[in-house]
Amino acid sequence: MSETDTATTTPAAEPKPKDKVDWKTEVRGLAWLVLAVLGFWTFVAKPFYIPSESMMPTLIKGDRLVVSKYPYGWSYASSFWHVIPFVHGRLFGHMPERGDVVILTPTGESSDYIKRVIGLPGDTIEVRGGVVWLNGKPIPRVAEKPAMIPVDANVPCDRGFEAAHRTTGPDGKLYCELPVFRETLPSGRTYDTIDLGVDASPGDEYGPITVPADTVFVMGDNRDESADSRYPVEELGLGGPVPWENLGGRAEFITHSYDGTGEIWNPISWFTALRAHRTGINLHPARVAPPKP
């Protein structure tokens, strides 16, 4: 009698059910991430884009930089989205130092300006023939080698007062050749400015005025093409000294810069449009021995 083998059939394993996506958790995690980024931009630092020529030669259109939010304390202007109405005072507030490059939000506006602090509360400010006078004395300035800023899509150098300064360099490329004057404040902080020598520039004659308490007087480094504290609001200026509550932070350094030829759908252009030579530029004024009285 032979033994008959019996085949046993093992049932096929049922497919494991797919884990369901917990969308509630995902959305909550994303919301916390967004809040963390916005909180960082509000209280610590945020990126900033230069949209105009008003701070040349220090900053040119297309520069991206970092603005720290804490050096002057926090105010209504510190928030990333300017949705908070004007509120007097600052939390842990400090006045800037003359020479600081700051971002500010004009009262009632949502756009940011970037300018340099020239006068603090109690200072007397005057401009004579394009020379800034601080507390009855001219801020010393010395002519430097002209700035040779390459002409590109962001700096076409074909409008306004700059058009007359468009030139071809020894290398055959187009440049914006701008006259540079180095100013040195009484503290020894020094920085470059541009004075195009335009006789009819209305900002070349101003004041004198005394900067009121809790305000600062600001100017752009491109003195003939900057709407700043010298100009009335009707001319897109700041209408005089700016309340310190309007300061949103201090410019620290340039992270990178674009020449305006980049295209969002062409990743290669993100690299070819970079101005590599501008990466890492420190925006704190250099400090030298104070000018002799």
Phi and psi at 25, nearest 5°, equal -65, -40
Catalytic residue among 46, 61, 69, 115: 115
216: β partners: 242
Q: Are 64 and 48 in contact (CB under 8 A)?
A: yes
**Residue 243, amino acid:** P
Look up 54 and say whether it is catalytic.
yes
Look up 2 and say whether it is catalytic.
no
Beta-sheet strand order (sheet of 124-128)? 137-138, 131-134, 124-128, 206-210
User: End-to-end alpha-carbon separation of the chain, Å?
Assistant: 126
Catalytic residue among 54, 75, 78, 226: 54
Q: How far is CA 192 from the centre of its chain?
A: 16
List residues with catalytic annotation: 54, 115
